[in-house]
Chains A and B, each alone.
Chain A
Amino acid sequence: MIRVVLLVIFAAQFSVLFGQIEANFIKHLSENQLRSEHLTYLNQVKAPEDSVCYLKAKFYLQYEEDSLFFINFEQAKSLFLSDPFASTQASLQFFGKGSASRERWFETLPKEELNEQTQLLLNRYNLIEYKENRGEVKPEWPTVLLDEDYKAYTRVEGKSPFLGGFLSALIPGLGKLYAGKRKAFVATFFINGVHFVQTYESATRLDLKHPLNILNISVLAGFYVANIYGSYHDVKEVKRERKQQLYLDATTHYRMEFGDRLYQ
C-alpha cells in the first residue's frame, strides 16, 4: 500500500516536472545560437498555450522571422509586453527595419503600461512619423549625429516631388538640387547643356531633316524627359533615405544604450 502511494506521488511529481519550462535551458539555447534544438524544445514543451507562444515569439524575434513572430505575439501579447527585455528588444529591432514592419509593430503597441525604453522608442516613432510635439518642445537627441540626421530629414520632409519635376523642366538638374543632390545637379546640367549646345550647332549647320539632327534631337529629348522624371523620383527617394538613415542611426545608438539581452 505504501509503495503504491509513493509510486503515485512520484508519478505526479514527474508529470509536473515535464510540464515546467526550463528557463535557464532556453536561455542557454538562445545564447549559444542552437536554433534547431531551441525550436525542437519549444515544439515539445508542455505548457499553457500563451506561455509557449510567448517563448516562440522571442525565438522568432531572435532569428528575425517577422511574420511568425507576429503570429505568436498576437496570441501572447500581454505576457510579451510585460517582459521588459522582450518588448525593448522587439521595439529596437523593428525601429531599424523597413517601414512596413516598423509600422505594424508600433501601431499595435498600447499607449500605456509600457516599460521606459519601449515608451521612449514609441515617442521617437510618433515624433518622426506623425510630427507629435514637434512645435512644442525641441526634441533632444542624445548624440550630435542623430540631431544632424533629424535636421536633414526635417529639411526634406515637406518637399514636393512634383515641384522637383517642374524645376527640372525649367533648368535641367534643378529638381535634383532641390532634392539636395548637388553632384547630380552639376552632372545633369552639364550633360544636358553639352547636348543642347551640340544639337543647336548641328541644327544650324545642317538641314533640320538630316538624320544626324533627328538623332541628336531624339537623344536630347530623351535625356531631358529622363531628367524631369528622375527628379520627381529623386525627391521621393531622398525623403525615404533620410528617414531610414535616422532610424538606423537611432537604432544603433539605443541598442548600445539598452543592451541586447532577450532573456533575464
Chain B
Amino acid sequence: MMKELCRFLLCLCFVAFSHELEAQAPLSPLNVKIIGATFATVPQLSTYKRKVVVLKNQSLLVKVNPLTYLGAGLLFFYQNVVSEQLGGECSYEISCSEFTKQCIQRHGFIKGLLLGANQLNTCVPGGYLDHCSHSVSEKGKIINSVEAYD
C-alpha cells in the first residue's frame, strides 16, 4: 500500500509540473522578474532584521505570560542557530517562522498558528508561479503581508 501510494504521489508531481516545460513560451512579466533576480550581478542578500519579541501595545497578560518568552526564545534559537545551519531559503519575502511570529502577535495564537502552518504548506521552490507578477518582489520572493488577513 505504501509503495502504491508513493508511486501515485510521484505520478501526481510529474503531471502537475510537466506542463511548465515550455522552452519556446513567450516571456511573461513574472518570468522576466524571476530571470532578473536569478542572474543579478549583485547578490541579493536579505537585510531583514528580526526582533526577538515585540511587546509594544500588548496587554499586561501577554507581557507577564512566561509562555510568551518561552515561545519567543524557542523561535529565536531556531531562527539564529538551527536555520543558519540548515541554510534553507524561504519562497516568501517574510520567512515562514517570522510570518508565524508576526501573525501570532497581530491575530492571536490560534489564527496566527493556522496562517503560519498554511504558509509552511505552500512554501516550495517555484511557488511564485501561482501568483501574479505584482505579488512577486524583484528578488523573486512572494510578497506576503500580515495585515492582509485582518
- The answer to whether A binds B is yes
- Contact call B117/A183, Cβ cutoff below 8 A: no
Binary contact track A202-236/B, C-beta < 8 Å → 1, others 0: 00000000000000000000110111011001000
| A window 163-206: CB within 8 A of B | 173, 176, 180-193, 197
Quick one: given A183-B126, A184-B122, A233-B149, are A245 and B5 in contact (CB under 8 Å)?
no
Cβ of B82 to closest chain A Cβ, rounded Å: 18
- Contact call A193/B5, Cβ cutoff below 8 A: yes
State whether the Cβ of A241 lies closer than 8 Å to any Cβ in chain B: yes
Bin the interface of chain B by size: 20 to 34
Please report the C-alpha to C-alpha distance between residue A223 and residue B121 in the assembled complex, in whole angstroms. 8
Binary contact track B27-55/A, C-beta < 8 Å → 1, others 0: 00000000000000000000000000000
| B window 66-104: CB within 8 A of A | none
Cβ of B118 to closest chain A Cβ, rounded Å: 3
**Which residues on the B side are within 8 Å of A229 (C-beta)?**
114-115, 118
State whether the Cβ of A51 lies closer than 8 Å to any Cβ in chain B: no
Cβ of A179 to closest chain B Cβ, rounded Å: 9
- Contact call A230/B5, Cβ cutoff below 8 A: no
- Contact call A230/B13, Cβ cutoff below 8 A: no
Please report the C-alpha to C-alpha distance between residue A191 and residue B118 in the assembled complex, in whole angstroms. 11
Please report the C-alpha to C-alpha distance between residue A175 and residue B9 in the assembled complex, in whole angstroms. 18
**Which residues on the A side are within 8 Å of B17 (C-beta)?**
186
Contact of A245 among B127, B130, B133 (CB under 8 A): B133
- Contact call B114/A230, Cβ cutoff below 8 A: yes
Which of B's residues lie within 8 Å of A, judged by CB?
Answer: 2, 5, 9, 12-13, 16-17, 113-124, 126-127, 129-135, 148-149
Pull 29 A–B residue pairs with CB atoms less than 8 Å apart, ordered by A.
A173-B121, A181-B122, A182-B129, A183-B124, A183-B126, A184-B121, A184-B122, A184-B130, A186-B16, A186-B124, A187-B123, A187-B127, A190-B13, A191-B120, A191-B121, A192-B121, A222-B113, A223-B117, A223-B121, A226-B113, A226-B115, A227-B118, A229-B118, A230-B115, A230-B119, A230-B121, A233-B115, A241-B131, A245-B134
